[in-house]
Structure 1
Amino acid sequence: MEGNNLEVAVLAGGCFWCTEAVFQRLEGVDKVISGYTGGTVKNPAYREITTGTTGHAEAIEIIYNPEIISYKELLNIFFATHDPTSLNRQGNDQGTQYRSAIFYTNNEQKQLAEQVIEELTANNVFEDAIVTEVTELDTFYNAEEYHQDYYNQNSRQSYCEFVINPKLNKLSIIFQDKIKKENLK
C-alpha cells in the first residue's frame, strides 16, 4: 500500500482488542494500533486506565487508504460492530475507558461523524439514543506491546471466542465486500 495516501482515524468502541480485530480485517486498512486517548494523564499505562480515573478510553488508531475505504465507511462499520447506545459500557466491560467515542483529527471527520450519527438516528437504526461522543483528538498513546495484535495472537482465549468472534462474524456477513481476501472464511 502506498504510504503517501494514508490517513488516520481514531475510534473507541469498548475493549480495544475487539475494535482492533475488526478493523485489521478491512481492505484499505494498513495498520491498527491499540492505545489510549481522551484523558488527562500523560503516558498512561493499562493498570491506570482500568481504574477509570484517568479519563482515557481504550481506542484504536486506524491508518488507512481513503482511496480504498472511506472515513464514512469506517464509521458505518464502527457503528455496526459495537453498541453506540450503551453509556460507558460494552457488554460486561464497564467504565469510562470502554465508552463509545470518535476522536476526529480535522473538521471534515467531525462533520462526517455528526452526519452519520444523524442518519442513524433519523433512520431509527438503534432502539435507544446514540451516546457516542465526538471529540477532537488530543494525544493518542500506544498501549503496551502485549495489547497489540491481541486477537490474532490469542484467538482461542475465552474472551476472544465469546466477545470478539461474534463481532467478526457480523462483520463478515454485513461487510463481506470490505474484508481483505485473506480474512474471508
Structure 2
Amino acid sequence: MGSVRRALVLHPDCRCDAVETIEVQIARPGAGELALRFVVKGDIASIAVPAAADPGFADGLWKHSCFEAFAGSSEATAYHEFNFSPSSQWAAYRFDDYRSGMAAIPPLVPPEIDVDASACDLQLAVALAGLTEAHDLFGLSAVIEQVDGTHSYWALAHPLGKPDFHHKDCFALELPAASAS
C-alpha cells in the first residue's frame, strides 16, 4: 500500500517560533505493520531535542519533544497510543475508552526508531510490527519543547479547547488495514 502524507497543525492557543512545519508520512506496508516518518522543518537548535538513550520503554515522553500516533477503530471506543522520542525511547498504551482503562502494553516487536537531524530539519522514522488489532482511524501528533521550556502541540486536527490528542476529533486520518499477503 502507498503512503499518505499530511501536515500537522499547531494548536491555536500555542506559539512555536522554532518550527515552520511538521509533516508526517504514514504507511501500512503489511498486515500488523505501520511505518511513520515525522519531518520537522525550522530552527532545530531552538528545539529541546532529547539526548540519545538506550532504546526501550519509557513513561512520560510527552513531557518533552516527542511524536505520537493514536490508533483506533471506527467500530470501537478502545484505542492505542504510541509515543516516540528522538532519544529512541518509546511507549505504548491501550485505552478502553476516552482517557480511561489505560494500560501500558509491550508491542510484540519493539519499534525501530531512526532519527536524523540537521540545522533546519529533524526527521524521526518509526517501523512498528506485530500490531494485533485492526485500526482504521489515526491521530498523528507532536509535542515540541523549545529550549526556553515552552511547549507547542501539533496534530492533524484539534478539538475546541485545550490540546487533547486523545479526543476523537484528533483521529482525523482514515487508513484501511493492509491485507494479509
TM over 0.5, shorter chain: no
Q: Report the TM-score range of the alignment, normalised by the length of the smaller protein.
A: 0.3 to 0.5
TM-score, scaled relative to structure 1: 0.32
TM-score, scaled relative to structure 2: 0.32
Select the structure that is richer in strand. Answer: 2
Select the structure that is richer in helix. Answer: 1
